[in-house]
Amino acid sequence: MNAKLLRHLALPLALLVVAAFFAVKEPAYLGPRNLTQLVVEFSIVGTLALGMFLILLAGQIDLSVGSGVGLIGGIAAVLVFQRGWPAPLAMGAAFVAALGLWTAMGALIVRQRIPSFIITLGGLLVFKGLFWLVIQNSTVPVARGDAENLISRLTTYYLPAGVGLALAIGVVLALALLAWRGRAARAAHGLGAQPWGRVVARWVSVATAVVGLVTVFNAFRGVPVSLLVLAATAGAVFFLTLHTPFGRYLYAIGGNEEAAALSGIAVERVVVGAYALMGVVVALTGFMSTAYSGASTTTVGDLMELDAIAACVIGGTALRGGRGTVGGVLLGALIMTALLNGMTLLAVAPEIKFIARGLVLTLAVWADVRLGRR
Amino acid sequence: MPAVLLEARSLTKRFPGVTALRDVSFDLRAGEIHALCGENGAGKSTLIKLLAGIHPHGSYEGELRLDGRAVGFHSVRDAEAAGLAVITQELALVDELSVAENIFLGRAPRRGLCVDWLAMHRRAAKLLAEFGLAISPEAPVRTLGIGQKQLIEIVRAMDKRSRILVLDEPTAALTAQEVAVLLDHLRRLRAQGTACIYISHKLDEVFALADRITVLRDGASIATLARAEVTVPLVIRHMVGREIAELFPRRILDGAAAPAPRSDQRGERAAAPVDPVLSVRGLTVAPAKNSPPFLREISFELRAGEILGIGGLMGAGRTELLMHLFGAWGRRLAGEVTLCGQTYPAPTPRESIARGLGLVTEDRKRFGLVLDHSVGLNLSLSNLGEFVRRPGRIDGSAEFRRNQALFDALRIKAPGQDARVGGLSGGNQQKVVLGKALMTEPRVMMLDEPTRGIDIGAKREVYELIRRLATDGRGVVLVSSELPELIGLSDRIIMLHEGRIGGEFAQGNFAQEKLLAAAMGHARAA
Residue B475 DSSP label: E
Is the complex ipTM higher than 0.90?
A: no
Residues of A in contact with B353 (CB under 8 A): 263-264
- Tens digit of each residue's pLDDT (9 = 90 or more) over A151-173: 889 988 999 999 999 999 999 99
Q: Is the pLDDT of residue A100 over 90?
A: yes
Whole-angstrom Cα distance, residue B387 to residue A367?
Answer: 37
Tell me what pLDDT residue A206 has: 87
Whole-angstrom Cα distance, residue A35 to residue A212?
Answer: 12
In this complex, do A248 and B393 lie within 8 Å of one another by their Cβ atoms? Answer: no
In this complex, do B328 and A189 lie within 8 Å of one another by their Cβ atoms? Answer: no
Decide if B39 contacts B98 (C-beta within 8 A). Answer: no
Residue B105 DSSP label: T
In this complex, do A261 and B349 lie within 8 Å of one another by their Cβ atoms? Answer: yes
Residue of A nearest to B419 (CA): A191
Tell me what pLDDT residue B17 has: 62
In chain B the first and final C-alpha atoms are separated, in Å, by 34
Closest CA of chain A from B361, distance in Å = 9
How big is the CA angle at B64 (ends B62 and B68), to the nearest 5 degrees? Answer: 125
Whole-angstrom Cα distance, residue B289 to residue B293?
Answer: 10
Is B328 an 8 Å CB contact of chain A? yes
Virtual torsion, Cα B330, B333, B334, B340, nearest 10 deg: 30
pLDDT band of residue A182 (cuts 50, 70, 90) is confident
Residue B363 DSSP label: -
Virtual torsion, Cα B25, B154, B188, B160, nearest 10 deg: -80
Specify the amino acid at residue A338. A
Is B361 an 8 Å CB contact of chain A? yes
Is B131 an 8 Å CB contact of chain A? no
Decide if B510 contacts B328 (C-beta within 8 A). Answer: no
Residues constituting chain A: 374
Cross-strand partners of B218: none
Residue of B nearest to A238 (CA): B393
If you average pLDDT over every residue of chain A, what do you get?
91
Is B92 an 8 Å CB contact of chain A? no
pLDDT band of residue A3 (cuts 50, 70, 90) is low
Tell me what pLDDT residue A4 has: 64
Residues of A in contact with B371 (CB under 8 A): 255-256
E strands within B1-76? 4-15, 18-29, 33-37, 61-66, 69-71
Q: What is the CA A113 to chain-centroid distance, rounded?
A: 27
Decide if A288 contacts A229 (C-beta within 8 A). Answer: yes
Name A201's Cβ contacts closer than 8 Å, sequence gap at least 6.
Answer: none
Decide if A252 contacts A58 (C-beta within 8 A). Answer: no
Count of CB atoms within 10 A of residue B306's CB?
A: 22
Residues of B in contact with A248 (CB under 8 A): 377, 381, 384, 394
Decide if B425 contacts B453 (C-beta within 8 A). Answer: no
Whole-angstrom Cα distance, residue B507 to residue B491?
Answer: 6
Residue of B nearest to A239 (CA): B393
Phi-psi region of A301 (alpha: psi -120 to 50; beta: other; left: phi over 0): left
SS3 B371: coil
pLDDT band of residue A267 (cuts 50, 70, 90) is very high
Count of CB atoms within 10 A of residue B452's CB?
A: 17
Cross-strand partners of B26: B8
Specify the amino acid at residue A344. T
Decide if A312 contacts A53 (C-beta within 8 A). Answer: yes
Decide if B361 contacts B429 (C-beta within 8 A). Answer: no
Whole-angstrom Cα distance, residue B400 to residue B387?
Answer: 10
Tell me what pLDDT residue B391 has: 81
In this complex, do B370 and A185 lie within 8 Å of one another by their Cβ atoms? Answer: no
For residue B393, give the nearest of A243, A251, A260 by CB distance: A243
**Closest to B71 in 3D by CA, of B91, B98, B52:** B52
Tell me what pLDDT residue A89 has: 96
Whole-angstrom Cα distance, residue B47 to residue B198?
Answer: 12
In the A/B pair of chains, how many CB contacts fall below 8 A?
A: 81
Q: Which phi and psi (to 5°) does residue B283 adopt?
A: -70, 125
For residue B349, give the nearest of A189, A244, A264 by CB distance: A264
Whole-angstrom Cα distance, residue B432 to residue B376?
Answer: 9
Whole-angstrom Cα distance, residue A250 to residue A247?
Answer: 5
Residue B142 DSSP label: G
* Strand B164-168 versus strand B195-199 pairing type: parallel
Decide if A90 contacts A76 (C-beta within 8 A). Answer: yes
Closest CA of chain A from B17, distance in Å = 23
In this complex, do A256 and B369 lie within 8 Å of one another by their Cβ atoms? Answer: yes
For residue A262, give the nearest of B349, B401, B418 by CB distance: B349
Whole-angstrom Cα distance, residue B270 to residue B175?
Answer: 44
Residues constituting chain B: 526
Whole-angstrom Cα distance, residue A106 to residue A101?
Answer: 9
pLDDT band of residue A264 (cuts 50, 70, 90) is very high
Is B394 an 8 Å CB contact of chain A? yes
DSSP string, A100-169: HHHHHHHHHHHHS---HHHHHHHHHHHHHHHHHHHHTTS-EESSSTT---HHHHHHH-B--HHHHHHHHH
Q: Is the pLDDT of residue A252 over 50?
A: yes
For residue A243, give the nearest of B370, B371, B394 by CB distance: B394
Burial bucket for residue A345 (CB in 10 Å: 0-12, 13-18, 19+):
middle
pLDDT band of residue A372 (cuts 50, 70, 90) is low
Helical H segments across B228-326, by residue range = 232-240, 250-257, 263-271, 318-325
Whole-angstrom Cα distance, residue B20 to residue B26?
Answer: 16
Burial pattern A51-66, b for ≥16 Cβ within 10 A else e, equals: bbbbbbbbbbbbbbbb
Longest dimension (CA), chain A: 63
* Strand B33-37 versus strand B212-217 pairing type: parallel
In chain A the first and final C-alpha atoms are separated, in Å, by 16
Q: Extract the residue ranges of chain B whose pLDDT is less than 50.
A: 243-272, 525-526
Which residue of A262, A317, A368 is the best one to mutate when testing the B interface, meaning the one whose CB has the most B CBs within 10 A?
Answer: A262
Residues of A in contact with B352 (CB under 8 A): 264
Helix or strand (DSSP H, E) at B85? strand B84-87
Count of CB atoms within 10 A of residue A194's CB?
A: 14
In this complex, do A252 and B370 lie within 8 Å of one another by their Cβ atoms? Answer: yes
Residue A49 CA neighbour count, 13 Å, CB half: 35
Is B370 an 8 Å CB contact of chain A? yes
Q: Which phi and psi (to 5°) does residue B85 adopt?
A: -120, 125
Virtual torsion, Cα B331, B333, B336, B339, nearest 10 deg: 0
Which residue of B381, B393, B400, B438 is the best one to mutate when testing the A interface, meaning the one whose CB has the most A CBs within 10 A?
Answer: B381
In this complex, do B371 and A256 lie within 8 Å of one another by their Cβ atoms? Answer: yes
For CA atoms A140, A146, A151, A153, the dihedral sign is positive
pLDDT band of residue A107 (cuts 50, 70, 90) is very high
Q: What is the CA B284 to chain-centroid distance, rounded?
A: 21
For residue B370, give the nearest of A185, A264, A322 by CB distance: A322
A5-14, A23-32, B406-415: range with lowest mean pLDDT: A5-14
E strands within chain A? 140-141, 295-296
Is B346 an 8 Å CB contact of chain A? no
Residue of A nearest to B354 (CA): A264
**Closest to A62 in 3D by CA, of A327, A309, A311:** A309
The fraction of chain A above a pLDDT of 90, given in percent, is 74
SS3 B446: strand
Whole-angstrom Cα distance, residue B223 to residue A334?
Answer: 70
